[in-house]
Structure 1
Amino acid sequence: MTESRKGFDVEVKLHGNQHNSTKKSKTSRREKASLLGHEDAIATNEEAIADGAESDESDSPDHKTFSKKRQLPSVGPEEDSEHMEANPSDKMDHESGEESLGVHESHIHNLIVTTKAYATAKALKPFAHRLTTESTILFLQNGIGVIDEVNEICFPDPETRPQYMIGVNSHGLKQRNAFDVVHAGAGTIALGILPGTGSARPLIDAPDSSRYLLRTMVRVPVLVAVGFAPTELLQQQLDKLAINAVINPITAILDIKNGNIDHNFFLKRVIRLLLAEVSLVIRSLPELQNVVNVKMRFDPRRLERLVWSVAELTAVNESSMLQDVWAQGQTEIDYINGYIVKRGEQLGIHCVVNYMLVQLIKARGVLVNKEKEGLLPFGSVAKF
């Protein structure tokens, strides 16, 4: 089933200087989609709409449907579009030259970030000045640890930081291009407002934008979104992290579908060693020491059952890390297994299996890139 949505106002931030802002683009919608990158941060003035999500346009009488179509600027072959933002309150002036291409100064109330974890800080930095303490950023991404980078690069002053929200997504999505997303599997989204992010204020003092965004997301039926307290949300993040720490790197290294990790005695040995490290680190985290039954929740045997369950449900799918390796060589490994290694070092735990997988994934990315560039002597035998 194909469902089309249109009528959004967008602004596209371009890299490079080769463009003509005074001429209307005749590029077709499909061509524009192929030119735009898939790692986009999307925002509206009062709400942001994630890839593949439906908007509840009747949520409030004060929020009207904006159907004005904004003409996208023409994109040359050497230009790389990195960031797309929808903001119905802005007006793009195509007659003012280069600076008119999406560089607006209006306040962003809510921003949903769906980029790959490693691209988040770079994508947010050009728009950091448009986010205030009354703004809310929702991170819908794999892995953990990106917020530390965002704080360091985009919002170093705690007194001027926006409010952060985290989403743990179990929906299966496959993006064919910037404007075409396949809902490959129904799931849920766990949402939570992080305490102590915006101006170090308590959770009860979160800005109105946070409550509005949370309420809007929960009321969209297709998302199956539910709000959670910060501690429970962290546990759900770690559940997903443990699953991704097994399925993603193993399938990417062996170039196999998710279901192929099951019924393999040798892989089970590796997976159990891997989960032993993951479990030990998670159960030792200081932020979980006062949580009831945390030892049982993150027991290696329970985590292993979760891995087999997800591998069976997604047996015919290729993991996101395998797709990333073949697409561009860069992956989110530093925010999955790399996070386990980092926290293990802080706790005095040496996670050698996770460290090895991090290095193997990065090595695989290098090899894929070299193969694409034709630098490896495939098809001939080297003589020594």
Structure 2
Amino acid sequence: MLTHHYPSASTKWFLEGKAIDLHDARGNLISSHPILCPEYIGPRMGVPTISRWQGEVLDNIIVNTSSVALYPTLRALRHCIDNRTVICLIHEGLGVAEKLNEDVFDDPAFRPTYVLGHLTHKLSRHMGKAMALRNKSSNGVLLLSTSPRAAEEGIDEREDTTGHRSLELAQRRHIMGLLSTSEALHPVGLSWTKFLHRKLPGMIWSAAADTTSVILGCRYDQILEDSHARKLWNGLLDETLHIAASLPEFQAQNQSQDVRPGQGQGHEEKWLAPFLHRRDQFRASLGRRLRRRRTTYSEWISAIRRGDVTPVNFVNGYFVKRAQELGLDHKINSMAISMVKARHQARLRELRSDIPFGYRPYMSDGDRLGGREFEGDDYGGDGGDGGGEDWDFDLDL
């Protein structure tokens, strides 16, 4: 079952053959899967706070959507979600499950079970159609794991802790088993630490590149060309890498290794994720990545132009939260979050005061960036990462 917030989605489904078409990088049709008409879960006419869709308790939900649609979607389905439900979250950042527990599923006894996903497929729309996708990568995978942080929240408040843990394990195995039947997705289950190895590089990229682009209103290639932009980039990168290297998940991994006396800290560091162990090479790789993007600009800028929120709370915000827990410095990331949100609020004021007369496209601002939006991750689950993970740095363990 697919869900949508706009009635036009049902019309597009009908006009485009009632199926989802998947094309390869050259546009050739790979497969076509008939689907039921997407269910409308938006507000009823005249009743903006009540969902029109009524259904049974949902067993499994896969959420791969932007931050702006995430909360309305799950709030609209709230009455169909309880502790029997498994939600697979494929999102640009981390910390989404914890935030959902705070704001949407605030009763620990009825919270759903979470599985976190990281999608490296490089997907985009095909020919501008809503129900047609183009897979630009041949080696994409869907990485799956469970966050111990989300699982631990509220466990002690449940009456049957042991029973609930057993239920959670069974539910997670079930949804992973369902996803494993899809050859196109190439799902891979990982431990939490190994999941972080693959997830954090893209988040570090977004925390520095996308945030700098939004704050200064510049293209990717202009970050390294301008001395002021370069200073902000370096500051964000230094602070974020330090926070990532200090995470307990990686420290616990170091301590679990057999380190012989006399080998010291340098030997332990080799067990860190490759992007943390070879930090200088990773920084150089990020710089080359900026140059490869040439005159493209961040999709976060496009989100701001539309008046949509960016995933900054789950990218930079994740590193800030972990830094606060560890007593580490996070002032540059905190400042960056405030500045991105300020740009968003300023854009909202601009849109509210704008009266379009047809002389220029609605919701296009006065920025003169040139270039074009980077189109690598129209549907990818990795924020700013391009879905296909165009790294020239070895991320494998």
TM-score band by shorter chain is: 0.5 to 0.7
Structure 1 counterpart of 2:146 = 193
Deviations along 1:220-275, one digit per CA (max 9) or x if unpaired, are 34334321112211332222211110121122234444454456555443322211
What amino acid maps onto 2:116 in structure 1? I
Structure 1 counterpart of 2:97 = 147
Equivalent runs, 1:126-145 vs 2, <5 Å: 126-145=76-95
**Of 331, 341, 358, the match for 1:352:** 331
| 1-structure distance, mates of 2:191, 2:13 | 41
| Residues 1:270 and 2:224 aligned together | no
Deviations along 1:250-305, one digit per CA (max 9) or x if unpaired, are 22234444454456555443322211111222222234321232386425424423
What amino acid maps onto 1:331 in structure 2? T
Contact 1:193 1:230 in 2 (8 A): yes
**Of 148, 167, 170, the match for 2:117:** 167
**Of 50, 53, 58, the match for 1:108:** 58
Structure 2 counterpart of 1:298 = 276
| 2-structure distance, mates of 1:12, 1:297 | 38
**Of 123, 133, 151, the match for 2:73:** 123
| 2-structure distance, mates of 1:26, 1:269 | 44
| 2-structure distance, mates of 1:344, 1:178 | 40
> What SS does structure 2 have at the residue aligned with 1:214?
helix
| 1-structure distance, mates of 2:21, 2:74 | 17
> What SS does structure 2 have at the residue aligned with 1:133?
coil
Q: CA deviation at 1:166?
A: 0.6
| 1-structure distance, mates of 2:136, 2:243 | 32
| 1-structure distance, mates of 2:94, 2:172 | 21
Structure 2 counterpart of 1:92 = none
Deviations along 1:167-193, one digit per CA (max 9) or x if unpaired, are 122333446675455545564332113
Please, what is the CA RMSD of the aligned residues? 4.5
Larger displacement relative to structure 2 (208-217 or 348-357): 208-217
Contact 2:12 2:130 in 1 (8 A): no
Contact 1:174 1:182 in 2 (8 A): yes
Deviations along 1:290-324, one digit per CA (max 9) or x if unpaired, are 12323864254244234235435554654331221
- The alpha-carbon distance between structure 1 residues 276 and 219, as it changes in their structure 2 partners (threshold 3 A), is same
> What SS does structure 2 have at the residue aligned with 1:223?
coil
Q: CA deviation at 1:12?
A: 5.2
**Of 310, 328, 348, the match for 1:331:** 310
Structure 1 counterpart of 2:321 = 342
Contact 2:60 2:86 in 1 (8 A): yes
| 1-structure distance, mates of 2:183, 2:130 | 23
- The alpha-carbon distance between structure 1 residues 67 and 165, as it changes in their structure 2 partners (threshold 3 A), is same
Deviations along 1:330-375, one digit per CA (max 9) or x if unpaired, are 2111211122223323333332221222122122222323333346
Deviations along 1:148-173, one digit per CA (max 9) or x if unpaired, are 11112333343432221111223334
| 1-structure distance, mates of 2:95, 2:330 | 17
Equivalent runs, 1:24-43 vs 2, <5 Å: 28-29=11-12
Contact 2:39 2:53 in 1 (8 A): no
- The alpha-carbon distance between structure 1 residues 341 and 32, as it changes in their structure 2 partners (threshold 3 A), is farther
| 1-structure distance, mates of 2:114, 2:22 | 21
- The alpha-carbon distance between structure 1 residues 194 and 333, as it changes in their structure 2 partners (threshold 3 A), is closer
Contact 1:135 1:210 in 2 (8 A): no
Structure 1 counterpart of 2:176 = 214
| Residues 1:364 and 2:343 aligned together | yes
| 2-structure distance, mates of 1:286, 1:229 | 15
| 1-structure distance, mates of 2:281, 2:244 | 13
| 1-structure distance, mates of 2:253, 2:233 | 26
| 1-structure distance, mates of 2:23, 2:59 | 19
What amino acid maps onto 1:169 in structure 2? L
**Of 266, 287, 301, the match for 1:308:** 287
| Residues 1:156 and 2:134 aligned together | no
> What SS does structure 2 have at the residue aligned with 1:112?
strand
What amino acid maps onto 1:147 in structure 2? A
Identity %: 20
Higher relative contact order (CA 8 A, sep 6+): 2
Larger displacement relative to structure 2 (208-217 or 180-189): 180-189
Alignment TM-score, normalising by the size of structure 1? 0.66
Contact 2:197 2:273 in 1 (8 A): no
> What SS does structure 1 have at the residue aligned with 2:88?
strand
Contact 1:329 1:368 in 2 (8 A): no
| 1-structure distance, mates of 2:219, 2:137 | 16
Alignment TM-score, normalising by the size of structure 2? 0.64
Q: CA deviation at 1:111?
A: 0.5
Structure 2 counterpart of 1:242 = 204
| 1-structure distance, mates of 2:237, 2:81 | 39
5+ long unaligned stretches in structure 2: 25-31, 156-160, 255-270, 356-364, 367-397
> What SS does structure 1 have at the residue aligned with 2:253?
coil
Contact 1:274 1:353 in 2 (8 A): yes
What amino acid maps onto 1:189 in structure 2? L
What amino acid maps onto 1:215 in structure 2? G
